[in-house]
Structure 1
Amino acid sequence: MFTQYDPESAALTRELRDQFEAFMAGKWDADTLAAHQTRKLREVVAYVRANSPFYREKLADISDDEMDALRNDDLRRLPFTTKDDLRQAQLDILSSPVSDAWIFYETTGTTGAATPCPRTNGDTIHNNTVLTAYYRDVLAAHGDRQVIGVSGPTELHATGDTFGDVCRNLGHAVAKMWPHSPVIGFDRALEVMRLLPITGLFCTPGMAMRLAQKATEAGLDPRKDFSLDILMLTGELMSPSLLANIGAVWGAEARNALYASQEASVLAAATSDGSLRTAPLINLYEVIDPDTLEPVAPDSAGVRYGELVVTNLYSGAKPLIRYRTGDMVRMTDPAPGAAVPAPGLEAVGRVRDRLLLNGHLVNGYDLEDLLLRRFRGYQDYQITISRDDLGRDLISLTLKADPDSQRENIRKAVEECLDALDTPLDVGFGTPGPITSTGAMVSWKAARVVDLRTESSIENTSAERIAATRA
């Protein structure tokens, strides 16, 4: 409604809506997209150099002539922006004063200084247009008048505002509820889910499992006593195995809904063909080797595997140039018939969360997918890594589940782990505790992995502190 009072925002909304409709309908060829990206790249680089104290210094060696001639394949001439840059620069990273924003967000600051993430109307419209366009068919498969729960913090965080706005765009009602809030709590959240009833839920994988645990403890059956049709999960690592389990626990479709960050905003979103796809109208993407910093070439299957680097293609409060996300991804060009003609993306874990197991370097996504592949119906899990007297790495998997329902799958899981990683696996049953709920606040590794081979890190300490407040 605010756009009725802001003609500039109303015009931008219409322009982006029309662009995305044409792009998704296949009316943009490669040359059209490249021309759009090149024009936007030049605009944004000029914008940040003129308006951001940080980028004014960072890009001082780029001449006006070089800037006017920038093309997509010239990105390597520009310096990277890192998380440490954001922490150190603070408000100097901004390209407009906070007073020009419509809202102020910031990162959690659990493992370092919180960084400012204000959003202008333009920032929000660009990013929410992606989600509105991509989610339309995903949610429409379950009806055009749903009641969608958004289970995420709203204080200084974009989750509730973003998904609430997108659902409103698509005609769905929204109930924002944060079960960790002392005002709401899990009992009230579950009551609201049954009362309305909630048919769709945006939350983290950890929250989806924690809600199932609390429902079971209350004598309820998540599959029978609730009306969920779809879970739109985000904020944490989620492998296909974990998604399938959460869907089985709730008797609903479970989707990886979004890959994004407070710093860089929307980078990829769920589409109706089941893939998470990038948003090339508003971002440029690179995949680099995190050690050499060189571009990664596609493998024989056309997959580029490495660290994701992103450049925002819209001028707002804080456009980022060649931002190293710190996340390992697999990026694949779209096949004919893709719901959106944009590369598919799998976020497979942070660079620093990779684990070396008996000579095999494995990311969190693949490890989780491997260990959980055979199990369904569990409501939580945790991985413990140790080393025996011979120097061999060992894995223990703890599942919160009925042991009798899982035992027949243990042998296959043990065999598959040994085959893939040369690492013995032991499967046990128990309750990992509240630390597993901290993934979105800290990291997958801190929340899900107890690595007895290494000393505790700042991320472990942060996760333990948050967990203590949730016990």
Structure 2
Amino acid sequence: MFTIFDDRLDAFARRTLADHRRFDAAGWPREELEAHQLTALRETLRHVTGNSPFYGELLGHLDESAIAGLTFDSFAELPFTTKDDLRERLLDMLSKPVHEGWVFYETTGTTGRSTPCPRDHVDSLVNNTALSVCYDHVFRAHGDRHVIGVMGPNELHSTGDTFGDVCRNLGHAHAKMWPHSPVVGFRRALEVIREVSVTGVFCTPNVAMSLAKEAVRAGLEPAGLGIRFFMFTGELATPGLLRNIGEMWGATAYNCLYASQEASVLGATHGDGRLRTLPLNVYYELIDPGTGRPAAPRDGFRQGELVVTHLYQGSKPLVRYRTGDLVRLYPAAPAAGYPSDVLLPLGRVRDLIDLNGRRVTAYELESLILSRLAGAMDYQLVIDRADGTDTLTVEVETRDGAPLPPAAVDDLAGAAHEAWGCPVEIGYRQLGGITTTGALVSWKAARVHDRRRAPDEERKVALAMAGGRRGR
């Protein structure tokens, strides 16, 4: 309701909502969308070159004539922005001083220097409107009168504010409860779920798995707690993982958001359960991570490192920002309810794993394994090398230590050998806190113990964090 105190923001909020609702209804012709994107790219370039010390140096050669004559082709020749730029230039990246924003966030800093991520009202209105319009379809699919649990860190982090605002926009109550906080904890989170009849939860996949394990320890049946749906973010979420968690809780699990603190919202799930791009807010490019040139199209999709540019002019717009993430983009079907590309995150470029000479993405690895691990409550992968061959051990935590069906184990062994030439073993044990660290470190650091080489810095951070969580 803050917008009623500012006529300009009120008009901007209403115009933004109208634009997104019209897009949701397939009311933007392609020509109009491309014109919108090109105009917004020019405005973003004017905004950053005139206000950001970093971009004033990087793009200061662009005068008004060059910006006014910008085309998509000439834009693709501009230099990239990298994560190192963000870490080195910090507040120089901003296009508005911190005091002109409404909230200050920063990256977690678990694997490098924290970088500032303030938001002004334009940032929040644009991003939260897109999420609200998309999530409205998901929420309606699971009834009404929702109470939503928001389980994510709130200190210097956007999770609670963003999802709380979205729930408020859609007319649903929410409770912010971060189970890893000593103020809350997993036992109290379960109590709140029962006391106020929580129907949906925003969290990471590992929070949902940890919460289920805590429920079982407390003598509760997760599927009997009344949660209808989970909205996952912060970690890789393959169909097999979504299925396992959904079955565990008797709920529908969605990979609801592709985003980061520094780049904000880049994709949101729609009513069909698939992540979609948000082309009113973001201009997307895919590049070959080795050459930096546009990724070559493949049969039915495009794949490469995602590069994004913000089409709104807030506190910290980024221009041609290399996310470091591998993604696939599939064109929307002609009859799709939401007319934007389907977005499939594959994991970070630097999380590619070599298995017997084959380069494997995080998504490919987890998809093949978890599609055959029905009933797993948690998992970890151990990679080793024996007699010149890379081997894979899948460590699984199941309910009461029950073994997986022999047919599933055989199927997994055959599929892994065919795909990567890896012999596979299955091990059963209770997994420690390291698998809960993925959202703060990386999927690979949390999920993969690669014995072929010494732990890298991210793995060391994950192990340290796991030690700190073990006693909670």
TM class, shorter-chain normalised?
A: over 0.9
Question: Partner of 2:384 in structure 1?
Answer: 386
Question: Partner of 2:319 in structure 1?
Answer: 321
- Indicate if the aligned counterparts of 2:280 and 2:311 stay in contact, CA closer than 8 A: yes
Return the offset for 1:400.
0.4
* Counterpart-to-counterpart distance in 2, 1:304 and 1:147: 38
Which amino acid is the alignment partner of residue 118 of structure 1? P
Question: Partner of 1:205 in structure 2?
Answer: 205
Return the offset for 1:73.
3.0
Give TM-score scaled by structure 2 length: 0.98
Return the offset for 1:249.
0.6
Question: Partner of 1:275 in structure 2?
Answer: 274
* Counterpart-to-counterpart distance in 2, 1:405 and 1:393: 23
SS at match of 2:434: helix
Return the offset for 1:348.
0.7
Question: Partner of 1:89 in structure 2?
Answer: 89
Question: Partner of 2:19 in structure 1?
Answer: 19
Deviating more after overlay: 455-464 vs 257-266: 455-464
The runs of 5 or more residues in structure 2 that have no matched partner are none
* Counterpart-to-counterpart distance in 2, 1:113 and 1:391: 39
* Counterpart-to-counterpart distance in 2, 1:462 and 1:405: 31
SS at match of 1:380: strand
- Indicate if the aligned counterparts of 1:273 and 1:338 stay in contact, CA closer than 8 A: no
Which amino acid is the alignment partner of residue 349 of structure 1? G
SS at match of 2:337: coil
Which amino acid is the alignment partner of residue 324 of structure 1? R
SS at match of 2:440: coil
* Counterpart-to-counterpart distance in 1, 2:71 and 2:123: 23
Aligned match for 2:396, one of 395, 399, 408: 399
- 1:75-100 Cα shifts (integer Å, max 9, x gaps): 22211000000000000000000000
* Counterpart-to-counterpart distance in 1, 2:296 and 2:144: 42
- Indicate if the aligned counterparts of 2:119 and 2:314 stay in contact, CA closer than 8 A: yes
* Counterpart-to-counterpart distance in 1, 2:379 and 2:34: 44
Mapped pair 1:304 → 2:310: no
* Counterpart-to-counterpart distance in 2, 1:7 and 1:215: 49
Return the offset for 1:183.
0.8
Which amino acid is the alignment partner of residue 206 of structure 2? G
Question: Partner of 2:48 in structure 1?
Answer: 48
Question: Partner of 2:214 in structure 1?
Answer: 214
Which amino acid is the alignment partner of residue 299 of structure 1? R
Question: Partner of 1:185 in structure 2?
Answer: 185
Give the 3 Å change call, closer, same or farther, for CA 122–260 of structure 1 in structure 2.
same
- Indicate if the aligned counterparts of 1:41 and 1:72 stay in contact, CA closer than 8 A: no
* Counterpart-to-counterpart distance in 1, 2:26 and 2:73: 23
- Runs of 4 or more above 4 Å deviation: none
- Indicate if the aligned counterparts of 2:203 and 2:232 stay in contact, CA closer than 8 A: yes
- 1:423-460 Cα shifts (integer Å, max 9, x gaps): 11111111221000000000000000000111211101
Which amino acid is the alignment partner of residue 367 of structure 1? L
Aligned pairs for 1:7-406 (under 5 A) are: 7-224=7-224, 226-301=225-300, 303-388=301-386, 390-401=387-398, 402-406=401-405
RMSD: 1.0
* Counterpart-to-counterpart distance in 2, 1:180 and 1:116: 23
* Counterpart-to-counterpart distance in 1, 2:420 and 2:133: 40
* Counterpart-to-counterpart distance in 1, 2:204 and 2:73: 36
Return the offset for 1:5.
1.3
Among all aligned residue pairs of Structure 1 and Structure 2, give the percentage whose two residues are the same amino acid.
51
* Counterpart-to-counterpart distance in 2, 1:445 and 1:231: 23
* Counterpart-to-counterpart distance in 2, 1:291 and 1:55: 24
- Indicate if the aligned counterparts of 1:110 and 1:442 stay in contact, CA closer than 8 A: yes
Which amino acid is the alignment partner of residue 150 of structure 1? V
- Indicate if the aligned counterparts of 1:46 and 1:67 stay in contact, CA closer than 8 A: yes
Give the 3 Å change call, closer, same or farther, for CA 460–405 of structure 1 in structure 2.
closer
- 1:90-122 Cα shifts (integer Å, max 9, x gaps): 000000000001000000011110000000011
* Counterpart-to-counterpart distance in 2, 1:192 and 1:8: 40
Return the offset for 1:22.
1.2
- Indicate if the aligned counterparts of 2:236 and 2:345 stay in contact, CA closer than 8 A: yes
* Counterpart-to-counterpart distance in 2, 1:373 and 1:431: 21
Return the offset for 1:403.
2.9
- Indicate if the aligned counterparts of 2:417 and 2:423 stay in contact, CA closer than 8 A: yes
Which amino acid is the alignment partner of residue 357 of structure 2? G
- Indicate if the aligned counterparts of 2:54 and 2:89 stay in contact, CA closer than 8 A: yes
Return the offset for 1:373.
1.1
* Counterpart-to-counterpart distance in 1, 2:273 and 2:190: 28
The runs of 5 or more residues in structure 1 that have no matched partner are none
- Indicate if the aligned counterparts of 1:144 and 1:171 stay in contact, CA closer than 8 A: no
* Counterpart-to-counterpart distance in 1, 2:99 and 2:63: 30
* Counterpart-to-counterpart distance in 2, 1:188 and 1:7: 42
SS at match of 1:87: helix
* Counterpart-to-counterpart distance in 1, 2:392 and 2:324: 26
Deviating more after overlay: 74-83 vs 39-48: 74-83
SS at match of 2:376: coil
* Counterpart-to-counterpart distance in 2, 1:222 and 1:261: 30
* Counterpart-to-counterpart distance in 1, 2:24 and 2:70: 26
Question: Partner of 1:428 in structure 2?
Answer: 427
Return the offset for 1:372.
1.3
- Indicate if the aligned counterparts of 1:238 and 1:256 stay in contact, CA closer than 8 A: yes
Return the offset for 1:405.
4.5
Question: Partner of 1:463 in structure 2?
Answer: 462
SS at match of 2:244: helix
* Counterpart-to-counterpart distance in 2, 1:211 and 1:422: 35
* Counterpart-to-counterpart distance in 1, 2:460 and 2:75: 37
Return the offset for 1:258.
0.2
* Counterpart-to-counterpart distance in 2, 1:384 and 1:74: 46
* Counterpart-to-counterpart distance in 2, 1:453 and 1:294: 32
* Counterpart-to-counterpart distance in 2, 1:384 and 1:138: 36
